[in-house]
A and B are shown apart, each in its own frame.
Chain A
Amino acid sequence: MLFNSFDFGLFLPVVFILYWLIGPHRLKQQNILLLCTSYFFYGIWDWRFLILIFLSSIVDFYASQKIEATSKKAQKKLWLYLSVFWNLGVLFSFKYFNFFLDNFKALFDISETGFSTLNIIIPVGLSFYTFQTMSYTIDVYRNNVKPSKNILNFLCFVSFFPQLVAGPIERASRLLPQFSTTRVFNTTKAKDGLRQILWGLFKKIVVADNLGIAVSAIYATPEEFSSVTIVYAAVLFWFQLYCDFSGYADVAIGTARLFGFNLSVNFKLPYLVSTSTAFWRKWHITLSKWFQDYLFMPVVKWARKNNISKGNAKLIAIFTTMTLMGFWHGANWTYIIFGALHGCYMLFEAIPLKRKYKYKDLHAFFESYPIPSKLYFIPGLVLSVIFFRSINVTEAWHMVTAIFNSTISWYQLSTIIGWKLGFLFVMIALELFQKTKLHGLETIENLFPKYLRWAGYYVLIFMIIRYGGPQEQFIYFQF
């Protein structure tokens, strides 16, 4: 079920009313309702996806119980490996098997008949919930969290519908305890939750989807456009991606707040940053944190164990983490290159500076001089985004070369999207105005009287209805 659908517009109020009718004193019944509705929400795509999510939940639940139950390190490790093997195995089978097979066949020039690719669909949000459950077992193994004794709460933690299909990727230490704590209805939180949902829908339907029309038009026939237009398309696509994904996160967080839950912040104005290092601290924050904790740190540790110097260990870890983070997005060389490019930028930013300068590395220097550093980072970001958006490396390369080979003219810019680009500026202005807040409408209650606020909400709803095209899936669902 899509957040921007009529179905969700009916689903949410029904679940909300049932949930609070049950009341905060019947926690178990509330959780049963959340589990059933989450499975319904997910099963609407394809009921077979439910089998997989249920199995993944059970495997991680029992693996963590066994880890806790045994005192022997080897046995703990065995259960951890079993869980990781299951999770990565599922991810590999559904998402990466065909990619590896195709590349293997291409590399060794094996005929088509030798091996055949699997004809399967990738379950929606697979990478998100797999990473969430995997982090739980690892945290139990590391003694960072106590394993849940309550299977109902654990199933809810894995499948909680607001964040199930596109995050934020929650840690057990943060989300799991919320299922065992009484949730009391909080009007302020619920009102702000609704405002955040409205803000998310505006970003997705009015801004992202309208930018998407222009981006698709340019990407469909890049040879028809000038170099400036191609760069412009890449920049627009980056904003489309941001509005699409952060819009989803806003709806997810706002929805969770209606039920008394707090989800993690996933974006903090990433378009203001000047370096790749800072970018990944503000873009898809929960994924970056996941990779930092479960890949970057272990790689550094492993490298240090193998007598690699601290500096080199960090460099190896940065590049590996970023490349795999790119690969997490999808089984395609374009995503690998996207990640690897950011890895390169980060390696560049990690170059240490001599003691006579007051900055310890280039990143610190760039952070202090945001305008010149944007001259370095924005072209780099545009280049990476071209790979992210392209279907394959050939198309991406074609786009990159077209930037240098095409004519330079400006006339096509306005004809492609026109005045609708103004929505993007409105969104940015509101977000900058609310810079330190959770979302673009957060402080509206303190600033305006009720009738003006309601008028503002009606205007936003009008724009959502007026400018909403045929329902578009959120880009990050495919990951």
Chain B
Amino acid sequence: MSWKKFTYRAILFLIPIVILVIGVEVLVRNIPNSISVSGEQLEEDNSSIKFLVLGSSQNKRAINPEFLTSNTLTVAGTRQGHKTDFYLLKDLHKHLPNLKRVFVGVTARHFESPPNGKNFWKYRSHLVYYNVNAFERPVYFKDKFIFLGNPNFYSDQLEDYYIKNKKLTYNKFGFQLTGLNDRFAKFHHNEEEILKTFNSGNYPSLNRNFLDLSSKWFHKILEYCQENNIQVSLTKTPTFKNYNPLLDRDVLKRRDSIVDAALTTYPNIGLFDEEENTLYKANHFINENHLNPKGAELFTKRLEQFLKESTFSQN
């Protein structure tokens, strides 16, 4: 057999795989998720959006824009670091002419968790749904295939959505309402049971070496907001009562010193601190440091109140 015939046969062999990958990509894009719903909101309402929520899963789970009076876009995401936040802010700002305020998460883990790498798989979704290039490099053809960014993750999603018929629901702001991995519900929100099972191993380990890098990107966000006259609300989201005491106190101190310094350096910042607020009970959480929709409602309403009462205007 000549090499040409061999190549021809190899191509024939690969055709079903290419069709399969394209088909799977189409199916994946049909599954609603918080990024795709926010993407729709961005496309439809971009000129009326006044608030932007950045940060990691804690912010994503804590702020439900439904309870804010100003139109709010949420682009917070699981394990999303300040670097990604910065790129999202910078690129999205071009499409948000009336952006007045940004919510930036400053949870205890935020500064010492590994930053998102250059090829972070969620960047593909940011590119497709928000038109944001966070790759720190030119966009390649492959970047437009969401499925190929993390086939394992999306295969599970496909299975859940199309085969097991597990359909998650989101409100029009991309806030997830059902299908949360609610660990506390398994204990019927019984505090004693929950306290018995606390396991710090459930959370990825922290590394102090990331502190400088994270705080660099944190400051870049704050500087950008200052230059563009955007108000900043730093958010310390609630934690269940056993969480902070079990966390390394030095981690908290280091985070607080960065936040305190930022509050004195930049004039357009406020801090909304609910981290150790005892108002939040077990039935407000899905786990030690993430709120459930009920908790999010309480947090967001209190945030709204905070904004009304704070010295800088809500616009």
Contacts and interface: CB of A to CB of B under 8 A. Distances in A.
Contacts of A223: 201
B10 A20 contact: no
B142 A6 contact: yes
Contact of B3 (A190, A224, A454, A465): A190
13 contacts: A6-B145, A7-B140, A7-B142, A20-B4, A20-B7, A187-B1, A191-B6, A465-B151, A466-B155, A467-B155, A468-B152, A470-B121, A470-B150
Contacts of B152: 466-469
Nearest to B4: A20
A29 to B, nearest CB: 16
A324 interface: no
Interface of B: 1-4, 6-7, 10, 13, 16-17, 20-21, 119-121, 140, 142, 145, 148-153, 155, 199-201, 204-205
A454 B142 contact: no
B121 A221 contact: no
Contacts of A191: 6
Among B151, B152, B200, find the residue whose CB has the most chain A CB atoms closer than 10 A: B152
B22 to A, nearest CB: 12
Contact of A454 (B7, B13, B20): B13
Contacts of A471: 119
Which 5 residue pairs of A and B lie closest in terms of their CB atoms, listed nearest first? A224-B201, A221-B201, A187-B1, A6-B142, A20-B3
B21 A221 contact: no
A362 interface: no
A118 interface: no
Contacts of A457: 13
A194 interface: yes
Given A225-B201, A466-B155, 8 more contacts: A17-B7, A185-B6, A220-B205, A465-B151, A465-B155, A466-B151, A468-B151, A469-B153
Nearest to B205: A220
A98 B111 CA distance: 27
Given A16-B7, A17-B7, A220-B201, A469 B150 contact: yes
B148 A224 contact: no
A458 interface: yes
Contact of A187 (B6, B149, B201): B6
A458 B3 CA distance: 22
Contacts of A1: none
Interface string A21-33: 0000000000000
A470 B149 contact: yes
Contact of A190 (B6, B20, B119, B204): B6
Given A469-B151, A469-B153, A470-B149, A224 B199 contact: yes
Nearest to B7: A17
A58 interface: no
Contacts of A36: none
Contacts of B120: 470
Interface residues of A, number: 27
B247 to A, nearest CB: 13
Contact of A461 (B3, B10, B17, B153): B17
Contact of B21 (A16, A190, A465, A467): A465
Contacts of A13: 7, 10
Nearest to A6: B142
Nearest to A20: B3
Nearest to A219: B205
Contacts of B204: 220
Nearest to B152: A469
B141 to A, nearest CB: 9
A183 B79 CA distance: 50
Interface in A6-48: 6-7, 13, 16-17, 20
Interface string A189-230: 011001000000000000000000000000011011100000
Given A220-B204, A467-B152, A469-B153, A185 B142 contact: no
Contacts of A16: 7
Among B21, B153, B155, B201, find the residue whose CB has the most chain A CB atoms closer than 10 A: B201
A220 B150 CA distance: 22
B10 A194 contact: yes
B81 to A, nearest CB: 15
B16 A6 contact: no
B16 A467 contact: no
Nearest to B142: A6
Contacts of B200: 221, 224
Contacts of B142: 6-7
A180 B119 CA distance: 39
Interface in A146-188: 185, 187
Contacts of A458: 16-17
A236 B140 CA distance: 35
A185 B199 contact: no
Contacts of B121: 470
B208 to A, nearest CB: 13
B199 to A, nearest CB: 6
A191 B6 CA distance: 8
Nearest to B11: A13
Nearest to B16: A458
Contact of B205 (A185, A187, A221, A461): A221
A333 B97 CA distance: 55
Contacts of B119: 470-471
Contacts of A465: 17, 20-21, 151, 155
Contacts of B20: 465
Contacts of B149: 470
Nearest to B17: A461
Interface string A314-344: 0000000000000000000000000000000
A1 B269 CA distance: 43
Given A466-B155, A469-B150, A185 B2 contact: yes
